[in-house]
């Protein structure tokens, strides 16, 4: 592991990875959502034989293809960064983390690449049934691609199914299904995919509203709005269920993230959930006596219920997690951060002593050191933490991002309901206020998605792998200026790609479905 690393290298490496991930996530959710919507529309065409639905499906398929191509480019760069910027991480857990990524490339991406050509160029060249199957298999492949990537990410949040090999200094997988089917992975997959479905529904709804504002392609726009509003409402209702599951999993596996999400410094029994609130900027440390909030409105006891399924359950705050001493939901007494750090140092030293004993062929000593390592390995990562304050993620960013995500999610439900009611009553074609709201809701979908990932990733800092490996011990030994240069190069490249995609999409939208080339 790297010691005495330049902190600017850590910051720039994190910034570069965050930049790539956030740009990548501008394309992925639309791919997941728009892919399903276009497949539904083609299914309607297959069942009815109505050529208008074929033209509608082809139009949205064109926009899907533009978005898909650029999303692939950013995704490939993201995976390469694990080797270039995070080589210690890749060495330490590559045997586990690499498995789902390999499956994603071999199975899911191959599936997408095989059927996407038929989907785009197979109209009138293959049977309607085979073309429909190709469309569905393409989006299933894209969804499976997301599945394996999210399994890898979930393992970083909740490392299971592995054991540490002190001879190779690597974590090795012993239970593939524990990794693939962990509750964190399953919930993260459904929650993330559903957010993509909502993004696709918002996009179709917004673009269709633009046509209504321009008073063109009215029949096409109204049929697209009906499909997208129903699809979006179903996805929005389902995401409430997965959101509840996410809160429960975070409470059980990452209590510090939950405390940051709620700005909860001092825990207790029957804790309320903050609906809206303004954090106190004067509170700069968990040790000061400043109030956490300038203003807050809480739903009584709701956080305890979400965290433990018990309205009177104990939920630890940031101070409690640092100081320890409370009783956990497993019935044990929580260690303090300092105790965990000491155990982590014991584990790191035991590893070094074990390797030296093996080199010296001192079998008895090696076994003793190995036993000490195994006893303390669950706190291994804490040995790299120098100050307990490092264990606290950025509270403000996590707290506000969580509320942006939730508030926008509630707004989307309301939007889809109103769109359906107005469509059912035949009023949506003349409701210009609703058309403007639908159009300007497209960027709100992207903001909600980005906010969700900020909660997930910023909230788990300082860990690259929860409790096992902090980011400070995960990076490659590089010159910070090299990472800084590539950060700006990627920023320019990704911005150009984004501008290009928006330009191509706007041009295709202005042409409209009549200009379909298929």
| 134-178 tens-digit pLDDT | 999 999 999 999 999 999 999 999 999 999 999 999 999 999 999
Closest CA to 34 of 205, 186, 188: 205
Closest CA to 30 of 139, 153, 188, 144: 139
Mean pLDDT along residues 355-365: 92
Mean pLDDT along residues 364-376: 94
Q: What is the pLDDT of residue 5?
A: 58
Q: What is the pLDDT of residue 110?
A: 79
Indicate the pLDDT class of residue 517, thresholds 50, 70 and 90. Answer: very low
Q: What is the pLDDT of residues 266-290, one digit of tens each?
A: 999 999 999 999 999 999 888 888 9
Give yes or no for a contact between 29 and 196, defined as CB atoms under 8 angstroms apart.
yes
Mean pLDDT along residues 327-338: 88
Q: What is the pLDDT of residue 81?
A: 87
Query: Could you give the percent of the chain with pLDDT greater than 90?
Result: 80
The CB density around residue 49, as the number of other CB atoms within 10 Å, is: 10
pLDDT at 99 over 90: no
Using the 8-state DSSP alphabet, how is residue 311 labeled? T
Question: Would you kindly state where each structural domain of the chain is located, as residue ranges?
Answer: 7-254+393-515, 260-323, 337-384
Give yes or no for a contact between 291 and 280, defined as CB atoms under 8 angstroms apart.
yes
Give the pTM.
0.92
For residues 34 and 203, what is the distance between their CA atoms, to the nearest angstrom?
Answer: 8
Give yes or no for a contact between 362 and 368, defined as CB atoms under 8 angstroms apart.
no
Q: What is the pLDDT of residues 459-473, one digit of tens each?
A: 999 999 999 999 999
Mean pLDDT along residues 199-221: 96
Q: What is the pLDDT of residue 107?
A: 79
Indicate the pLDDT class of residue 487, thresholds 50, 70 and 90. Answer: very high
Using the 8-state DSSP alphabet, how is residue 273 labeled? E
Q: What is the pLDDT of residue 74?
A: 78
Q: What is the pLDDT of residue 518?
A: 33
Return all residues near 167 (Cβ < 8 A) that are at least 6 apart: 355, 358
């Amino acid at each position: 592991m790297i010691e005495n690393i330049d902190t600017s290298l850590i910051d720039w490496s994190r910034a570069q990875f965050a930049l790539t991930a956030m740009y990548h996530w501008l394309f992925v959710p639309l791919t997941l959502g728009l892919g399903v919507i276009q497949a539904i529309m083609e299914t309607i065409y297959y069942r009815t034989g109505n050529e208008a639905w074929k033209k509608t499906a082809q139009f949205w398929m064109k926009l899907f293809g533009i978005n898909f191509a650029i999303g692939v480019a950013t995704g490939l760069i993201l995976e390469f960064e694990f080797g270039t910027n995070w080589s210690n991480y890749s060495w330490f857990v590559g045997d586990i983390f690499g498995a789902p990524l390999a499956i994603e490339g071999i199975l899911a991406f191959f599936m997408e690449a095989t059927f996407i050509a038929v989907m785009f160029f197979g109209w009138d060249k293959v049977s309607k049934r085979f073309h429909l199957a190709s469309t569905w298999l393409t989006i299933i492949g894209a969804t499976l691609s997301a599945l394996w990537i999210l399994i890898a990410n979930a393992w970083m949040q909740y490392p299971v199914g592995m054991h540490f090999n002190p001879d190779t200094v690597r974590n090795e997988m012993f239970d593939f299904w524990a990794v693939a089917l962990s509750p964190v992975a399953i919930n993260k997959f459904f929650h993330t995919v559903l957010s993509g479905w909502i993004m696709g529904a918002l996009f179709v709804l917004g673009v269709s509203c633009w046509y209504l504002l321009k008073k063109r392609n009215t029949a096409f726009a109204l049929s697209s709005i009906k499909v997208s509003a129903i699809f979006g409402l179903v996805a929005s209702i389902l995401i409430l269920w997965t959101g509840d599951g996410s809160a429960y999993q975070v409470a059980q596996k990452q209590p510090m993230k939950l405390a940051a999400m709620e700005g909860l410094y001092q825990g207790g029994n029957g804790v309320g959930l903050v609906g809206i609130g303004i954090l106190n900027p004067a509170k700069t440390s968990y040790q000061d006596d400043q109030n956490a909030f300038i203003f807050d409105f809480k739903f009584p006891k709701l956080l305890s219920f979400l965290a433990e399924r018990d309205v009177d359950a104990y939920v630890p705050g940031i101070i409690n997690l640092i100081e320890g001493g409370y009783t956990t939901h497993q019935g044990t007494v929580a260690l303090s951060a300092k105790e965990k750090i000491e155990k982590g140092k014991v584990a790191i030293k035991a590893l070094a002593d074990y390797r030296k004993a093996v080199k010296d062929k001192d079998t008895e000593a090696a076994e003793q050191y190995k036993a000490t390592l195994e006893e303390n390995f669950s706190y291994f990562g804490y040995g790299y933490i120098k100050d307990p304050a490092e264990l606290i993620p950025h509270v403000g960013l996590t707290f506000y991002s969580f509320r942006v995500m939730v508030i926008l999610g509630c707004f989307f439900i309301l939007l889809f309901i109103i769109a359906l009611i107005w469509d059912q009553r035949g009023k949506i074609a003349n409701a210009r206020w609703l058309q403007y709201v639908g159009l300007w809701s497209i960027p709100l979908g992207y903001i909600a998605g980005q906010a969700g990932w900020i909660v997930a990733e910023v909230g788990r800092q300082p860990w690259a792998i929860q409790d096992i490996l902090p980011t400070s011990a995960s990076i490659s030994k590089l010159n910070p200026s090299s990472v800084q240069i590539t950060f700006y190069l990627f920023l320019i490249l990704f911005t150009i790609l984004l501008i290009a995609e928006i330009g191509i999409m706007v041009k295709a939208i202005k042409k409209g479905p009549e200009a379909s080339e298929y």
